[in-house]
């Protein structure tokens, strides 16, 4: 049996992909944003929590898939465009303000709504990073050249931050990544969650995002060319520990920051992904514990579809469907469920908020299992 045929039987990749999507849904949908356990919060700017590892894990497994099925430039760019457009439509959903200003006309409300539409987002970062990394893979072909390209991407991103970011190049206020997005898109189309216009999925981070995808591709190539699963697991562990060490050493000079997607963050998060993948190869593909992870395997077959549907449902139940309460406030389905079920049982605290998020993940896991049983795979 060829290495390619045996590599296709690695269930660990599907499981890791599914666990990552579950993590993305979990951290994006707490019952209360004011009641979240510390590991489920993003680092404020510098640093890395478990939550900060979820997104690079997904980009990594996107890259791993490139090593097994890659059709060429045409399909690469078509898929990237579709993912980007889906992300943009998800930002725009429900396509009209759910709380319109009644002093304005329909068209004025519509113009104001799209005049403040965020352009970038998670799916857009996936699309752009996937397109850039895929182009390099198709162009360079050989793993050694791709390793060199990975190094060039990481160093180029650091150089852009360091030389064009003013006296404090890694700060919220002066970093070049934010300046580029502000110049390109304007204040109204950029994320403001940091207290100022800065988009954590902005354009410059596409460079190091592509680096994360390339790390995943190289891991997939490692699996394909290994003589056996034990060798594959050992190689993944070794490379993972080396990447972790390199990321921590590099962080002495360049801080680990998800918001900036710094190259030290790429190496650090990539190291953890390699170690986790090696662990799952050992546990699932060598020890045969696949049944333990069946729900995640199912979720890993329709990852982007599950993520998009979670976003659509959150906006529908959290914004589109709403009503006034007797005390004069406005509530929605998600708020009602959290207050009357999760908070009522577990308390209006971190545990109640986590219970809500877990239920949300279970809902989409059940959807994924139903699709998997019918062998339905919906690709973006």
pLDDT digits (tens, 9 = 90+) for 47-70: 999 999 999 999 999 999 888 877
The last residue of one of the domains, among 288, 311, 330, is 288
Ordered alpha helix ranges (H), the chain: 3-7, 11-28, 54-66, 73-92, 106-115, 122-140, 143-164, 176-185, 205-225, 229-250, 263-280, 294-299, 303-315, 333-337, 343-346, 350-373
Mean of pLDDT over the chain: 94
**pLDDT higher at 138 or 326:** 138
360 and 267 part of one domain: no
Number of domains the chain is built from: 2
pLDDT, one tens digit per residue, over 114-134 is 999 999 999 999 999 999 999
145 and 10 part of one domain: no
Q: Percentage of the chain surpassing pLDDT 90?
A: 88
Length, in residues, of the chain: 380
**For the CA atoms of 70, 272, 296, 200, what is the dihedral angle to 10 degrees?**
-80
The last residue of one of the domains, among 288, 307, 330, is 288
12 and 106 part of one domain: no
- Mean pLDDT confidence for 312-341: 89
283 and 297 part of one domain: no
Q: 3 falls in which pLDDT band (50, 70, 90)?
A: very low
Distance CA 82, CA 148 (A): 29
Range of the domain at 351: 1-41+289-380
1 and 62 part of one domain: no
257 three-state secondary structure: strand
On whether the CB atoms of residues 372 and 297 are closer than 8 A, the answer is yes
236 and 314 part of one domain: no
Q: 9 falls in which pLDDT band (50, 70, 90)?
A: low
Cα→Cα distances 190→124, 176, 194, Å: 13, 14, 11
pLDDT, one tens digit per residue, over 270-320 is 999 999 999 999 999 999 999 999 999 999 999 999 999 999 999 999 988
Q: Would you say the C-alpha torsion 243, 245, 250, 254 has a positive or negative sign?
A: positive
The last residue of one of the domains, among 248, 263, 288, is 288
Distance CA 103, CA 109 (A): 9
């Amino acid at each position: 049996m060829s290495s390619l045929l045996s590599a296709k039987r690695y269930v660990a990749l599907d499981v890791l992909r599914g666990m990552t999507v579950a993590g993305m849904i979990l951290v994006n949908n707490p019952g209360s944003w004011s009641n979240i356990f510390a590991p489920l919060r993003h680092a404020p700017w510098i640093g890395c929590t478990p939550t900060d590892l979820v997104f690079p894990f997904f980009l990594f497994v996107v890259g791993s898939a490139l090593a097994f099925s890659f059709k060429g430039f045409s399909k690469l760019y078509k898929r990237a465009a579709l993912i980007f457009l889906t992300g943009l439509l998800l930002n725009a959903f429900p396509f009209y303000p759910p709380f319109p200003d009644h002093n304005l006309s329909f068209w004025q409300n519509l113009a104001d709504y799209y005049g403040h539409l965020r352009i970038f987002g998670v799916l857009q970062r996936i699309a752009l990073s996937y397109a850039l990394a895929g182009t390099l893979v198709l162009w360079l072909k050989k793993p050694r050249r791709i390793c060199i390209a990975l190094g060039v991407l990481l160093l180029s991103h650091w150089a852009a931050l360091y030389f064009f970011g003013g006296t404090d190049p890694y700060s919220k206020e002066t970093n070049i990544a934010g300046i580029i997005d502000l110049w390109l898109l304007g204040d109204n189309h950029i994320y403001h969650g940091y207290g100022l216009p800065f988009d954590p999925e902005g354009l410059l981070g596409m460079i190091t995002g592509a680096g994360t995808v390339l790390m995943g591709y190289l891991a997939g190539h490692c699996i394909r060319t290994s003589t056996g699963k034990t060798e594959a697991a050992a190689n993944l562990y070794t490379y993972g520990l080396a990447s972790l060490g390199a990321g921590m050493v590099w962080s002495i000079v360049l801080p680990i920051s998800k918001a900036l997607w710094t190259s030290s963050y790429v190496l650090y998060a990539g190291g953890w992904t390699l170690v986790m993948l090696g662990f799952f190869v050992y546990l699932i593909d060598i020890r045969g514990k696949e049944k333990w992870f069946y729900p995640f395997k199912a979720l890993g077959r329709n990852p982007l579809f599950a993520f998009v549907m979670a976003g659509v449902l959150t906006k529908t139940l959290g914004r589109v469907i709403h009503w006034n309460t007797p005390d004069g406030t406005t509530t929605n389905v998600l708020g009602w469920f959290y207050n009357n079920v999760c908070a009522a049982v577990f308390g209006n605290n971190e545990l109640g908020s986590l219970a809500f998020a877990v239920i949300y993940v279970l809902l989409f896991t059940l959807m994924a299992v139903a699709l998997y049983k019918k062998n339905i795979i919906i690709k973006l």
